[in-house]
Structure 1
Amino acid sequence: MDSSPAAVTRRLWPLLVSVHEALRAGVAVSAAVHAAHGWNPTADRHLDHQLVRREAMERLRPWGADLDDAGSDPLLEQQLRPTDVDTDNLGLPMSGLILRTSRDVVRIWHSDDGELPSADTHGLRDFYRQEPSAQTQLAFGDVPGRARPARCHVALLWADSRAALTRLELVRPYGHVGRRVQVDWRIDLHGRLPAADPTPAT
Structure 2
Amino acid sequence: MRRDDSEESVYQRLADVCQQIYDALLDGIKKAVYFHDAAEWDHKDDPHLYFHIIRRSAIEYLKQLAPSIEDGDNDRPPMSGLIIRQPDDLIRVWHTAAQRIPKPDTHSKRDFVKQSPSGQMPLFSVPDLSRLRGSHSNLNHVIIQWTNNDHIITRYDLVRPVNIKRGAVTVEWRRPLLGGHKPA
Q: Give the TM-score range, shorter chain.
A: 0.7 to 0.9
- How many residues matched? 172
Give the counterpart letter for 2:170 in structure 1: Q
- Alignment correspondent of 1:175: 163
Is 2:25 aligned against 1:13? no
Q: TM-score, normalised by structure 1?
A: 0.76
Instruction: Report sequence identity in percent.
Output: 37
Q: Name stretches of at least 5 consecutive residues in structure 2 with no aligned partner.
A: 129-136
Aligned-partner Cα distance in 2 for 1:89–1:134:
36
Residues 100 and 168 in structure 2, CA contact (< 8 A), matched pair in contact too: no
**SS in structure 2 at match of 1:3:** coil
Q: Name stretches of at least 5 consecutive residues in structure 1 with no aligned partner.
A: 65-79, 139-143, 196-202
* Superposition RMSD in Å: 2.5
**SS in structure 1 at match of 2:148:** strand
Aligned-partner Cα distance in 2 for 1:44–1:89:
16
Cα deviation for residue 38 of structure 1 reads 1.4
- Alignment correspondent of 2:26: 24
- Alignment correspondent of 1:87: 72
Residues 55 and 78 in structure 2, CA contact (< 8 A), matched pair in contact too: no
Cα deviation for residue 180 of structure 1 reads 2.6
4+ long deviations beyond 3 Å: 88-91, 93-96, 144-148
- Alignment correspondent of 2:182: 193
Cα deviation for residue 94 of structure 1 reads 5.1
| C-alpha distance after superposition, 1:131-171 (max 9, x if no partner) | 112328x9xxxxx8797930000000112223221111111
Aligned-partner Cα distance in 2 for 1:166–1:186:
15
Change (3 A) 1:132 1:90: farther
**SS in structure 1 at match of 2:35:** helix
Comparing 146-155 with 40-49, greater Cα deviation is found at 146-155
